[in-house]
Structure 1
């Protein structure tokens, strides 16, 4: 079955996602606290807020799950840690409340997806089985 390449946005497993976004929101809170402490809008407040926006956009749009006929490629924020998973290596795919879990012979990988992407990816992978 010939499949076109599909792209989904994902986040890492739930625990990592909470930790990473907590650090990101520390930038936002620092910006707000600096603004409230000084009571006038300062350049440092604006700089911290812009850094928060940049980091947020990078975290959202750099993590992609790209699926084709034989592979699932997980791109990450730091490119040297990208992963490629062969679909034939996946033993089982399980729907989770916030995403999907891929089971392999030597472990599992869990990712967080939105509801629509989760169902589309699950049905695509079930067609191959």
Structure 2
């Protein structure tokens, strides 16, 4: 059975996620530092809180995996060009409860997803093999 277009939200490999989210929370901490330094809520504090909110929302919403037809498309946060992978190029699929990893064309990809999304993506990839 060929499924229609499916979209999943993901986070990159655990090490990359820790690095990205650490830099994001640095924006929040800068806002708190300015707030405590000035002892009143100022426009600089508001700027850092808004910037933290914007970057956090972007980190969650722009990281998408879209499966459409026999294409596995991975959206990145800063790169407007999505990574397009043909389903037949995916090899060595390894599953964990919240993680899926595979190889394609000498690249190794690791994605952190909800458990039900990992199962569904695995089923879709196996259907094309």
Greater alpha carbon shift after TM alignment, 31-40 vs 45-54: 31-40
How big is each residue's C-alpha offset from its partner over 1:34-68, in whole Å with a ceiling of 9 and x where there is no partner?
A: 11122211111011000000000111101110012
Match of 1:30 in 2: 30
Uncovered stretches (5+) of structure 2, i.e. residues with no partner: none
Match of 2:69 in 1: 69
CA distance in 2, matches of 1:104, 1:64: 18
Pairing 1:91–2:102 present: no
RMSD of aligned residue pairs (Cα, Å): 1.6
Number of corresponding residues: 129
Structure 2 counterparts to residues 1-129 of structure 1, below 5 A: 1-104=1-104, 106-129=106-129
Q: Deviations over 1:8-47 (max 9, x none)?
A: 0111111111111110000001111111122211111011
**TM-score normalised to structure 2 length:** 0.90
Distance apart, 1:97 and its partner CA: 4.5
Give the unaligned 5+ runs of structure 1. Answer: none
Q: Contact 2:97/2:118 (CA < 8 Å) preserved in 1?
A: no
Q: CA deviation at 1:114?
A: 1.8
